[in-house]
Structure 1
């Protein structure tokens, strides 16, 4: 497939720091940065990206006490999807507004980490897509890929004024585990059920007639959200057209009962009813934690849940310098001591499944990157695997390539 050409207005060579983005100014913060020039939240463009980086919005408030607003993002619309027909409860979301929707072939969905800053993740993935379009090795076509991001809210955000009256919201960060909403009113919808409806929106042929696939690109707590969602999502006709991109999660939902670290090392978690319960496993120990809309299925047939997860298209990305502790709960410690160790242990567990390493799963290890969301997704390896590469050939993106064992690390490396 011929390399896509990035439009000249996206090249660093044609800009200086502080220029407005090509699609128009929103404020004096969301302006152009060049490689080596940190944006408003400290993100920097990798030196090998020839394209511009657009600085992230900086709304009032914070993730601890609550956000005071959901900001407008340059090049995106902030829309709301009705996710509960009985109450008209809505899920806010960002979606690019600079593209011809009839030409979109792939939608890339990103979901925020613990800061609930969906605006930053939407901007990061859009910046990464521009970077991908400027790299011949990635072969991206910006015009055929659409970036979107749900905006999760919690009680603190509502109290500080970020939400509209009908916006669905959660307790703390329990949307990560598919927890039930705590408002508005009596709405108790699981965040995963809201994600089901969010995804379904992009299969609407009246709006997106050319869409062929959806890819998640997620990091840290956002990656925990996506991994657990991939584990529990009920079977849908479009399953084979969805890829779940999971980078540097702090912990996993383990599909099998055994753990790489002896349970005896964590006395408070020595019982599988504790360490294997949702959201660290899919055991029956704490059934009320499992999202209600899939609870019976999980409790009645663990083998089916594991097999379905193994069949799904999943990409894992791990920074080789990510030695942070991440999730410090004892359940997570039984999976490994750091982000990277847990990732490697999870890959080894997958390799030892009865059917071997799942044919539709792939993994890449990124040198020189720690727990940095933008630099993870902007690496050449991750750009292709996370759905930001060529949209014409699944094998070219790594979605259907052959698996080869990498005996040097005892894992599986998938190459395309």
Structure 2
């Protein structure tokens, strides 16, 4: 399927952007339908795709369009790609536009100015989609992301308070994150790993190297000392809601490099596994065995650490559109 979909990437639809925000500032969205204008009857699904550390939101928007075209759902889907900018990262910032320091946007931290967190922005987008007047036929919302965007989505799925206010179901698709938000102090035994078939060569135990990595269970990697948006969600609520939420993890079959410069190699991440694929397999099994979570896993064949390979290929189309 991938080659025909790559041809779709040559499609060059008119640039469509919109601002969403609060009194503190705004974030720029790439989108196929206005979130503040006229009604959009016939739109049945919203597909949000969160960019990675490169913050290349326009490319992610076009890749999401390609995935939507591959599924044959372009007429029924509103595609949205928010842009979380960073001046330090080389982004051009408009007057009044929100920006984030470093990778704080991946875990729901506040913008440089004001109190708005990156997760508040997604809440606002979902609130706009929740309008039965603007989207009268909406049936579901899919919040997806790759790499740093996959981290964003996995944590947002765990801590957000917006899903309970939605009148349609919300699904989450986290592709190739470099690290995960664990719900307790348990980690896989040293040298052990897990398979996509639910088999692990070891057990989940209290982290074996905790004495040398004392922050391994602090947020963004664990429940302790939560900050930003996550600090407003109680541990009890997170433990209750995350295992029940509709979450799919996508792992590139070839995303196994340990020398990738973008791979998180902190001790907190190493506690979760040696590379992205194994970290994902371990975390998926962790959620299944420790919390009986009804989460799903897809392996993207032939894909390394590539958002376009994942989301324009069969694994991403299946995860987002069920096809």
- Relative to the length of structure 2, the TM-score reads 0.85
Q: Distance in 1 between matches of 2:233 and 2:223?
A: 11
Q: 1:78 to 1:170 in 2, by over 3 A?
A: same
**What's the offset of the Cα at 1:111?**
0.9
Give the 3-state SS of the residue equivalent to 1:119 in structure 2.
helix
Gap regions ≥5 residues in structure 1: 1-44, 56-72, 134-140, 390-396, 399-416
Answer whether contact 1:54 1:127 (CA < 8 A) is retained.
no
C-alpha separation between the residues in 2 aligned to 1:195 and 1:49?
28
Matching of residue 206 in structure 1 with residue 133 in structure 2: yes
Residue in structure 2 matched with residue 129 of structure 1 by the alignment: 68
Aligned residues: 299
- Deviation of 1:225 (Å): 0.5
Rate the CA distance shift 1:247–1:363 in 2: closer, same or farther, 3 A. Answer: same
Q: 1:320 aligns with which of 253, 256, 261?
A: 253
Deviation at 1:46, TM superposition (A): 2.3
User: Does the CA-based 8 Å contact 1:221-1:250 persist in structure 2?
Assistant: yes
Aligned residue for 2:71, secondary structure, equals helix
For residues 146 and 253 of structure 2, what CA distance do their matches in structure 1 show?
Answer: 14
Alignment partner of 1:104 is 2:43: yes
- The equivalent residue for 2:178 is 250
Check conservation: 1:93, 1:148, Cα contact below 8 A. Answer: yes
The CA distance in 2 between the partners of 1:49 and 1:80, in whole Å, is 29
Task: Name whichever of 373-382 and 333-342 sits farther off.
Answer: 373-382
SS in 2 for 1:101: coil
Tell me if the contact between 1:94 and 1:149 (Cα under 8 Å) persists in the aligned partners. yes
- Highest Rg: 1 or 2? 1
Q: CA deviation at 1:51?
A: 5.5
1:324-346 Cα shifts (integer Å, max 9, x gaps): 23211110000000000100100
> Residue 217 of structure 2 is aligned with which of 252, 255, 276?
276
1:47 and 2:17 correspond? no
Query: CA separation in 1, counterparts of 2:309 and 2:315?
Result: 11
For the residue of structure 1 that corresponds to 2:142, the secondary structure is: strand
What residue is the counterpart of 1:229 in the other structure?
Answer: 156
- Cα deviation for residue 350 of structure 1 reads 1.2
Shift of 1:249: 0.6
- Structure 2 match to 1:162: 92
- The match for 1:370 is 304
CA contact (8 A) 1:228 1:253 kept: yes
The corresponding residue for 1:27 is: none
Shift of 1:305: 0.8
Instruction: Give the deviation of 1:191 after TM superposition.
Output: 1.1
What is the root-mean-square deviation of aligned Cα atoms in Å?
2.4
CA contact (8 A) 1:110 1:125 kept: yes
SS in structure 1 opposite 2:28? strand
Cα offset for 1:200? 1.0
Q: Larger RCO: Structure 1 or Structure 2 (Cα < 8 Å, ≥ 6 residues apart)?
A: 2
- Determine the structure 2 residue equivalent to 1:179: 109
1:264-288 Cα deviation digits (max 9, x unpaired): 447541x3xx1111000112xx34x
- What is the rounded CA distance, in whole Å, between the counterparts of 1:124 and 1:378 in structure 2? 7
- Residues 17 and 30 in structure 2, CA contact (< 8 A), matched pair in contact too: yes
The verdict on how the C-alpha distance between 1:258 and 1:75 changes in structure 2, with shifts beyond 3 A counting, is same
Give the alignment's TM-score, normalised by structure 1: 0.67
Q: How does 1:3-402 map to 2 (within 5 A)?
A: 46-49=2-5, 52-54=8-10, 74-81=13-20, 83-85=21-23, 87=24, 89-97=25-33, 101-133=40-72, 141-156=73-88, 162-183=92-113, 187-234=114-161, 236-238=164-166, 241-262=169-190, 263-265=207-209, 268-269=212-213, 271=214, 274-283=215-224, 286-287=225-226, 290-291=227-228, 293-298=229-234, 302-325=235-258, 326-354=263-291, 356=292, 358-359=293-294, 361-386=295-320, 389=321, 397=322
Q: Deviations over 1:290-324 (max 9, x none)?
A: 11x552543xxx24312201111111111111102
- Can you list the C-alpha shifts for 1:381-404, whole angstroms capped at 9, x where unaligned? 320212xx3xxxxxxx28xxxxxx
Q: 1:374 to 1:239 in 2, by over 3 A?
A: farther
Aligned partners of 2:257 and 2:271: how far apart in 1?
15
Q: Distance in 2 between matches of 1:91 and 1:378?
A: 26
Contact 1:110-1:218 at 8 Å conserved across structures = yes
